């Protein structure tokens, strides 16, 4: 009885969170590529300010050493410039024109990562270069990251977190007012926290990742990079990960297999764009760690 009561209470509040999310999202913006409604509770100028602050923190971190190797810097700058120009021709053109674009290559051969912040501040860690292998592979990575910024995914996560936090606070007050004993109230809140995380926040992040994969390869194709390299990139990712990691429903990212399948599904659209452009010559990225 104790567990059933707690579970039912959690399910009711999780349902409320989902309903509130949909209600807020229906009155907000719509992604121009996917038609998905977006819950956004911050302004673009606020996001750009936060992005600039975060970027400065990264650049001023003594552990973050910028690369001094032109073999690493130049291809990243080339790819970034072409992706940005594609963004300025895209359905995000107005946003892309507002951004103050900048890219830094961070010398860290053990970190396979890249990011783009609201406002257009980008960073590429040298550890991603062997995984990307070619400039087209790097374009898939950078296109993905640029879409996160242009599509305001960070702002969505913040808005979703704010809404969920508010709902959980209301749930806590309701649990206390309902006559539940303190232990039951704490248990309900614990269940709500886990339920909201799995039921709302994580799937929302997976939608962001898939959206960035999809629009990212369209940007890369428009920039003249072969979108088929995105599939090769994730096949290498899957091989290097060895199939490890948490189950997809407990992860903020789709599984490698899901990503590969989705990218293959989107390739015909991306290839149509790519074939209408002047293709960028195939170029291998430099080795790192030597």
Q: Which residue has the tokens 């926290």?
A: 193
Q: Any catalytic annotation for residue 135?
A: no
- As a whole number of angstroms, the distance between CA 48 and CA 65 comes to 24
282 CB-contact burial (10 Å; exposed 0-12 / middle 13-18 / buried 19+) = exposed
Candidate list 47, 72, 135, 145, residue with the active-site label: 145
Who's near 11: CB < 8 A, 6+ residues apart? 195
Helix (H) or strand (E) holding 195: helix 182-196
CB 221 within 8 A of CB 274: yes
- 29-30 and 37-38: which strand pairing? antiparallel
Cross-strand bridge partners of residue 30: 37
Active site residues: 145
């Amino acid at each position: 009885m104790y567990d059933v009561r707690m579970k039912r209470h959690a399910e009711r509040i999780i349902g409320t969170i989902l309903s509130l999310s949909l209600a807020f999202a229906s009155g907000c913006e719509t992604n121009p590529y996917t038609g998905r409604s977006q819950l956004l509770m911050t302004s673009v100028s606020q996001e750009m300010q936060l992005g600039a602050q975060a970027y400065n923190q990264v650049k001023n971190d003594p552990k973050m050493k910028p690369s001094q190797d032109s073999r690493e810097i130049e291809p990243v700058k080339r790819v970034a410039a072409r992706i940005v120009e594609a963004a300025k021709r895209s359905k995000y053109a107005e946003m892309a024109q507002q951004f103050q674009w900048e890219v830094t290559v961070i010398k860290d051969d053990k970190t396979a990562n890249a990011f783009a912040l609201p406002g257009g501040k980008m960073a590429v860690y040298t550890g991603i270069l062997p995984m990307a292998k070619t400039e087209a592979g790097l374009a898939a990575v950078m296109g993905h990251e640029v879409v996160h910024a242009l599509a305001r995914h960070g702002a969505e996560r913040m808005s979703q977190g704010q809404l969920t936090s508010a709902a959980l606070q209301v749930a806590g007050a309701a649990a206390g007012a309902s006559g539940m004993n303190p232990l039951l109230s704490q248990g309900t809140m614990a269940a709500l926290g886990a339920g909201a995380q799995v039921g709302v926040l994580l799937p929302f992040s997976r939608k962001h990742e898939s959206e960035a994969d999809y629009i990212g390869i369209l940007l890369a194709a428009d920039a003249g990079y072969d979108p088929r390299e995105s599939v090769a990139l994730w096949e290498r990712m899957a091989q290097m990960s060895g199939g490890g990691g948490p189950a997809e429903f407990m992860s903020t990212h789709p599984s490698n297999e899901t990503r590969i399948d989705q990218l293959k599904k989107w390739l015909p659209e991306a290839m149509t764009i790519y074939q209408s452009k002047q293709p960028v010559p195939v170029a291998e990225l430099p080795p790192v760690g030597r």
